[in-house]
Amino acid sequence: MAQSAIIKDVQVASIQAQLPAPVVFGDWVMKIREFATVRVRTSTGHEGWAFTLTRDGAVAEQIRKSIAPVYVGTDIADREATYRTTKGRTYGSHSAGVGLRALSIVDLACWDAAAKIADKSIAEFLGGQVKPMPATCIIGYPPAIMPPEKTGAQTAAFYANGWRRFKAPMGATWEISKARLKAARDAAPDAWLGTDLVWMFKTVDEAAAYANTLAELDMGCIEDIFPPGNAGKLAELRKRVPMPIWFGDEQGGSYFPEALIMAKSVDRVRVDLTCMGGITGGRAVIDECLAAGVDFCPHMFPHTHSQVFSAWGFDDKPVEWGVPWTGVHPYDDALAQPEIMQDGSGLMKPLPQGPGFGKMIDKEWCLSQPHQDPDHILQD
């Protein structure tokens, strides 16, 4: 019989990652990127870790208030049942948004701890293995100040190092945004190229007008065009543009991805296990896509997604990496970085495998940033 492993505590710290320049997407201005990192400790002395962006939500408060009290005292082997119990006790808070985001990283930390108890990598624990995967380089940061010529030079440098997939967010204006993409295309003529419209468009007409100016660049996708909440409007846009539409970042929960699928809004659903239910709840999102025959791929968090998606047999899905220390995803920058195969495939080699997810926190970096750590999990 497996050794009982009771969850002793669920603790969380918040880290305000400093950026080289504010990230400006219209009314959305990010002067920092705040992350919440969770530690789950068991009676066997094992620790599970996971992290997510807070998106300025009270993730740490939610964990302390309504999630940790349910998990503490339960057996790590019962983590899926505990996830459902926690969600069911507070459907109004835990079905979507901040509550689901908080519950997701606790679930991931529990899976990390369980894999460590079994002395297996998370991929092995899920019954699979890690394989080489396509990797997308997020270029063009900081977007408000990175000009086209520097975006092109950045693309050229990464292309020379084996990268074959690139994605840039909107710049300061439509004209600059297109010029940045053209510079990237000129630097990497045969590469896959996508763009994140970061929810900056309000109407179908304006979104279609901009997207159609990009048609000559052979775009691999446009994504996150409108603020979430109107699958019908997205479906209308899909009929009016030549490139695939990807959607779903930062969502999850009630009617996701059901609404997008039923409205035939997307070519690919974006999946983020750190805010869509972790491993326990997030797998249902993927299963819904599979049942409907709709494609999907992960959003950022490559240390989590590359291992889980590969273990589940989806090693053809591209994982995303920001250019280090440009403000894309600072927490990742202090962890293991990708090694791209030098055979022209653009595939990344599997990340180093350790028990569980491997190293999911660099405490020295966390402590170098403004932070709130009432339980001292960054200093133990």
- The answer to whether the CB of 29 falls within 8 A of the CB of 142 is no
pLDDT per residue as tens digits for the range 215-257: 999 999 999 999 999 999 999 999 999 999 999 998 888 899 9
Distance CA 31, CA 16 (A): 10
- Residue-wise pLDDT tens digits, 23-73: 999 889 999 999 999 999 999 999 999 999 999 999 999 999 999 999 999
pLDDT beyond 70 at 2: no
Positive/negative CA dihedral, 298, 300, 301, 303: positive
Q: Is 378 helix (H, G, I), strand (E, B) or coil?
A: coil
Q: Can you tell me the mean pLDDT for 335-352?
A: 97
The structure tokens 């740490």 sit at 60
Could you give the C-alpha distances from 207 to 37, 144, 185, 233, 376, in angstroms and in order? 36, 20, 21, 11, 46
The alpha-helical segments, DSSP class H, found in 63-121 are 68-71, 79-89, 91-94, 97-117
Confidence of residue 360 (pLDDT cuts 50, 70, 90): very high
Handedness of CA 255, 68, 56, 328 (dihedral sign): negative
What's residue 202's pLDDT?
Answer: 95
- How far apart, in whole angstroms, are the C-alpha atoms of residue 144 and residue 200? 14
User: How sure is the predictor about 288, in pLDDT bands with cuts at 50, 70 and 90?
Assistant: very high
pLDDT digits (tens, 9 = 90+) for 193-212: 999 999 999 999 999 999 99
Confidence of residue 380 (pLDDT cuts 50, 70, 90): confident
Cα–Cα distance for residue pair 356/237, rounded to 1 Å: 42
**With 80 as the cut, is the pLDDT of residue 3 above it?**
no
Structural domains of the chain, ranges and CATH numbers in brackets: 7-120+360-371 (3.30.390.10), 125-348 (3.20.20.120)
Please state the φ and ψ torsions of residue 38, each to the nearest 5 degrees.
-115, 140
Percent of residues, the chain, with pLDDT higher than 70: 99
Please state at what angle helix 174-187 crosses helix 148-160, rounded to 10 degrees: 30
Mean pLDDT of 131-154: 97
In the structure encoding, which two tokens stand for residue 59, read together?
Answer: 């993730």
| Torsional sign, CA 233, 234, 235, 237 | positive
pLDDT at 187 over 50: yes
Q: What is the DSSP string of 318-372?
A: -EEEEPTTTTS-HHHHTS----B-TTTT-EEPPPPP-SBT-----HHHHHHS-EE
pLDDT of residue 27: 87
Cα–Cα distances in angstroms (integers) from residue 112 to residues 72, 286, 287, 356, in the given order: 16, 20, 22, 5
**Could you give the CA distance from residue 230 to residue 164 in angstroms, rounded to a whole number?**
33
pLDDT tens digits along 366-377: 999 999 999 999
> How would DSSP label each residue in 202-244?
-SHHHHHHHHHHTGGG--SEEE--S-SS-HHHHHHHHTT-SS-
As a whole number, mean pLDDT of residues 122-151 equals: 97
Share of the chain above pLDDT 90, in %: 96
Confidence of residue 1 (pLDDT cuts 50, 70, 90): very low
Average pLDDT, the chain: 96
